[in-house]
């Protein structure tokens, strides 16, 4: 499997990482190097093997669906890069 420049641009877009056209060749080379190397997993017979999610030392616990950290609005907002009053701001998304 080998990534072409269009795929590199598409991955960057999906990952929301801005890239310049001049970044594409280097990224293509590095990602292809890693992907070529992980191809060795094709040697392994995984027929009938259950995929491992987490390490299986314990079942995931659930908790009641209730608010447990209420009344700390100011703490939650304290690191907002651009806030107005009790709100986060974003660039306009609807014209």
| Residues contributing to the site for other proteins (CB under 8 A) | 1, 3, 7-8, 11-12, 14-19, 27, 30-31, 33-35, 37-38, 40-41, 43-44, 46, 49-58, 60-63, 72, 75-76, 78-82, 88, 90-91, 93
Which residue's CB is nearer to other proteins, number 84 or number 93?
93
Tell me the closest approach of the beta carbon of residue 34 to other proteins, in angstroms: 6
Single out the residue of 35, 24, 38 nearest to residue 1, CA to CA: 35
Smallest separation (angstroms) from other proteins to the CB of 15: 4
Distances (CA, A) of 17 to 9, 10, 12, 40: 10, 10, 5, 28
Residues 75 and 61: their CA atoms lie apart, in Å, by: 27
The total number of residues written for the chain in this structure: 95
Least Cβ distance, residue 71 to other proteins (angstroms): 13
């Amino acid at each position: 499997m080998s990534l072409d420049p269009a795929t590199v641009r598409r991955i960057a877009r999906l990952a929301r990482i801005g890239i310049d056209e001049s970044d594409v060749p280097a990224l293509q080379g590095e990602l292809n190097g890693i992907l070529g190397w992980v191809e060795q997993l094709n040697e392994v017979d995984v027929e009938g093997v259950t995929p491992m999610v987490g390490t299986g030392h314990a079942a995931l616990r659930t908790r009641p669906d209730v608010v447990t950290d209420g009344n700390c609005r100011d703490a939650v907002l304290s690191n907002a890069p651009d806030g107005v009053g009790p709100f986060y701001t974003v660039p306009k998304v609807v014209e």
